[in-house]
Amino acid sequence: MTPGPFLHTTPDEVLTETAEQQVTIEFNDKTTRQFQLLLPVSIDVLLDHPATYDAFAQDEYMPYWAELWPSALMLGQAIAQRSWAADMQVLEVGCGLGLSGLVALALGMEVVFSDYDVAALEFAARNARRNGFNQFVTRPLDWRCPPTDLKVPLVLAADVIYEARNIDPLIQLMATVLKPGGECWLSDPDRPHKHQFQTALKRQGFKFEALPRILERPNQPTVRGTVYRILHGD
């Protein structure tokens, strides 16, 4: 593990072949919107590249950003069903392809896409532009090193506690970047250490709601998970 911030850039040579995936999200006014997502054709090509082996040796890096995970859909669906203040600034942590941020943009928010792979940020930005949005910025970010120059009322994070070692750094990130009274909406497919996450939140003084979610898609397994609405004290 690297002692300081770790950033990586997946080489362009393994990102030349792309596919498009369409996602439909229903909003709280009963309207639906289709989002067009550009993504690498296969994560296996990224996994087999020497740069990935080197990055894994340095920091146990894996190119998880290159797939659209069920938790991202759960989070996008959840925030689409709420009403939000106009022009709210939101930080998406570990944005990957940027679906949650796209939903936030559709809701009129201003989005900071962040990830520790610069290639993920490039895909998130391309996806934002191809869906007609421009009120966003990108920021390379290792969530273990929270920025002290950014304060937001809302943080979004999808499927980021896939390893227990991520829990404490993510909670510290929330404490650092959330404004008083701010919220973090975090989705998780009910991984085995969810109780460890909930205990850590309570220990750090965060209140939260655990909102059960069921994701059903044609010809795919049903996925159960939780969207956490985590509240930063005033």
pLDDT cut 90: percent of the chain above it: 91
Question: Sheet holding 136-140: strands in order across?
Answer: 136-140, 110-115, 89-93, 152-158, 178-188, 223-231, 207-215
Residue 234: what pLDDT?
Answer: 64
For the stretch 15-55, pLDDT in tens is 999 999 999 999 998 999 999 999 999 899 999 999 999 99
97: left (phi over 0), alpha (psi -120 to 50) or beta: alpha
Res 2 pLDDT > 60? no
Mean pLDDT in residue range 78-93: 94
Position 218 confidence tier, pLDDT thresholds 50, 70, 90: confident
- Asked if pLDDT for residue 3 goes beyond 80, the answer is no
pLDDT above 70: residue 180: yes
CB under 8 Å to 156, separation ≥6 — which residues? 75, 79, 90, 91, 92, 93, 100, 101, 104, 184, 185, 186
| Average pLDDT value for residue range 188-214 | 95
pTM of the entire predicted model: 0.95
User: Token pair of 179, please?
Assistant: 């404004």
Q: Are 8 and 117 in contact (CB under 8 A)?
A: yes
Count other C-beta atoms under 10 Å from residue 164's C-beta: 13
How far apart, in whole angstroms, are the C-alpha atoms of residue 47 and residue 53?
8
Rounded Cα distance between 175 and 151, Å, is: 10
pLDDT in tens, 155-176: 999 999 999 999 999 999 999 9
pLDDT at 1: 54
Burial of 97 (0-12, 13-18, 19+ CB in 10 A): buried
pLDDT band of 233, cuts 50, 70, 90: confident
| Average pLDDT of the segment spanning 76-100 | 95
Average pLDDT over residues 1-5: 65
Instruction: Please report which confidence band the pLDDT of residue 219 belongs to, taking 50, 70 and 90 as the band edges.
Output: confident
What CATH number does the domain located at 68-231 have?
3.40.50.150
- pLDDT, tens digit, for every residue of 95-142? 999 999 999 999 999 999 999 999 999 999 999 999 999 999 999 999
Average pLDDT, the chain: 94
Q: Over 70: is that where the pLDDT of 207 sits?
A: yes
Domain positions in the chain: 68-231
The pLDDT of residue 91:
98
